[in-house]
């Protein structure tokens, strides 16, 4: 909820810093509107310890034609350093899996960056596949979209 927005935004920025992502395009208000506005674009679950937020999972619905199945894509998983190795990350992924199941979905998938993340995810995931992620953003996105007729 919006009441948790300040520490949530702090954790989102913390993950961006950890991954070396540029903060230039992050917009707090747009993020909060997309999370809690009239048309939420994703769901977010938070983990708390002693009334302080220590982690979050951000996810949204997806579809996999190879399985003819609806699922959830886990965009972000972050646990603050002091709370790591205490089961918080696993609990957050379990909560995402439960939310997916309750929504009639049958899988959760994600992309990992960094060896530490991969080692953790191997303890949970039934399937690990080598993949290369691609994205078109900003000017490249605009230029490519303009090509479509």
Question: pLDDT digits over 47-90, tens only?
Answer: 999 989 999 999 999 999 999 999 999 999 999 999 999 999 99
97, 126 in Cβ contact below 8 A? no
All residues at 6 or more sequence positions from 131 whose CB lies less than 8 Å from its CB, including other chains: 111
Tell me the C-alpha distance between 21 and 58, whole Å.
17
60 vs 130 pLDDT, higher one: 60
Mean pLDDT of the region 125-140: 88
The token pair at 101 is: 């199941």
**How confident is the model at residue 6, as a pLDDT?**
94
90, 83 in Cβ contact below 8 A? no
Place 4 in a pLDDT band, splitting at 50, 70 and 90: low
Helix-strand-coil split of the chain, %, nearest 5:
40, 20, 35
pLDDT of 9-45, one tens digit each?
A: 999 999 999 999 999 999 999 999 999 999 999 999 9
Residue 1 pLDDT > 80:
no
**How confident is the model at residue 73, as a pLDDT?**
97
């Amino acid at each position: 909820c919006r009441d948790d927005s300040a520490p949530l935004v702090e954790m989102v920025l913390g993950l961006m810093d950890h991954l070396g992502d540029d903060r230039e395009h992050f917009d707090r208000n747009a993020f909060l509107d997309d999370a809690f506005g009239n048309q939420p674009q994703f769901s977010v679950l938070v983990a708390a310890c002693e009334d302080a937020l220590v982690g979050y999972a951000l996810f949204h619905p997806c579809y996999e034609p190879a399985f003819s199945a609806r699922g959830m894509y886990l965009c972000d998983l972050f646990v603050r350093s002091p709370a790591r190795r205490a089961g918080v990350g696993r609990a957050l992924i379990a909560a995402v899996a439960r939310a997916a199941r309750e929504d009639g979905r049958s899988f959760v998938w994600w992309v990992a960056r960094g060896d530490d993340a991969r080692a953790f995810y191997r303890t949970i995931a039934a399937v690990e596949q080598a993949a290369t992620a691609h994205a078109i953003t900003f000017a490249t996105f605009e230029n490519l979209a303009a090509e479509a007729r």
